[in-house]
Amino acid sequence: MDERRVVRVSKFLAKHLRHRPERIGLTLDAEGWADVPELLAAAARNSFPLTRDELDHVVAVNDKQRFQVDGGRIRAVQGHSLPVELNLSPTLPPSFLYHGTTNRALESIRRDGLLPMGRQSVHLSADPETARRVGARRRGEPVVLIVLARRMAAEGHEFRVSFNGVWLVESVPPGYLCE
Ligand code: HQG
């Protein structure tokens, strides 16, 4: 399977397992799981034929381990706009976490803090290099913000860490951000 096809399949899976399952007539359970045979049938019906082997390959080689397969089911491990219960336990974060964004969002972030925007949580990285890559996906100059995560946790904010190591929190008030 060539790299371009891997990326196309990964984007197809991310779109339907995080955001729009109904577009292909797929249903996710409350924890975000889809039945793999149902997903493959839905993909075929929607002009995106995909085999089980291809799906397993994309899950295995995925650069960010975005998906989790458990026998006959699959889900995205983070990034949802749909309300899903990932059943992750609150976890004590390190002192600092990082958020990659752009200069275009800074003014509003300084005022309102980090908000989940279209997703269910604010996504934070464990290291500044990863955060820089997240910020570089967007138009504008990438900016890495430091989040005083341990202090936030001590003051009652719950952090969770996804299966692929992305930290999730409901929001980050401006007082916990450093530039
Ligand atoms: C910004 C990717 C204005 C925020 C990544 C970001 C991640 C604000 C954008 C995951 C704001 C939301 C998530 C405020 C936040 N005012 N802008 N108050 N608060 N923002 O894509 O963190 O490759 O929903 O800075 O690697 O960029 O898809 O979040 O720029 O892990 O697996 O609003 O998605 O993973 O954008 O990315 P997003 P994100 P995948």
Q: Examine residue 152 and state whether it is found in any structural domain, yes or no.
A: yes
Rounded to an integer, what distance in angstroms lies between the CA atom of residue 16 and that of residue 35? Answer: 12
pLDDT digits (tens, 9 = 90+) for 128-147: 999 999 999 999 999 999 99
- DSSP type of residue 135: H
Q: Examine residue 163 and state whether it is found in any structural domain, yes or no.
A: yes
Q: Examine residue 22 and state whether it is found in any structural domain, yes or no.
A: yes
Structural domain total, the chain: 2
The pLDDT, as a whole number, for residue 70 is: 95
Instruction: Please give the number of the atom of ligand 1 that sits closest to the Cα of 118.
Output: 24
Q: Examine residue 123 and state whether it is found in any structural domain, yes or no.
A: yes
Q: Examine residue 159 and state whether it is found in any structural domain, yes or no.
A: yes
- Burial (CB count <10 Å: 0-12, 13-18, 19+), residue 114: buried
Per-residue pLDDT of the chain (179 residues; tens, 9 = 90+): 999 999 999 999 999 999 999 999 999 999 999 999 999 999 999 999 999 999 999 999 998 999 999 999 999 999 999 999 999 999 999 999 999 999 999 999 999 999 999 999 999 999 999 999 999 999 999 999 999 999 999 999 999 999 999 999 999 999 999 99
* Ligand 1 centroid to residue 71 C-alpha, Å: 31
CATH number, domain containing residue 117:
3.20.170.30
Rounded to an integer, what distance in angstroms lies between the CA atom of residue 96 and that of residue 92? Answer: 11
Q: Examine residue 87 and state whether it is found in any structural domain, yes or no.
A: no
Which domain range does residue 103 map to? 97-178
Q: Examine residue 33 and state whether it is found in any structural domain, yes or no.
A: yes
Q: Examine residue 113 and state whether it is found in any structural domain, yes or no.
A: yes
Q: Do 65 and 111 reside in the same domain of the chain?
A: no
Q: Residues near ligand 1 with C-beta < 6 Å?
A: 14, 64, 66, 79, 101, 105, 108-109, 112, 114-115, 117-119, 123, 134, 138, 166
- DSSP type of residue 32: S
Q: Do 171 and 101 reside in the same domain of the chain?
A: yes
Does the ipTM exceed 0.95?
A: yes
Rounded to an integer, what distance in angstroms lies between the CA atom of residue 176 and that of residue 32? Answer: 30
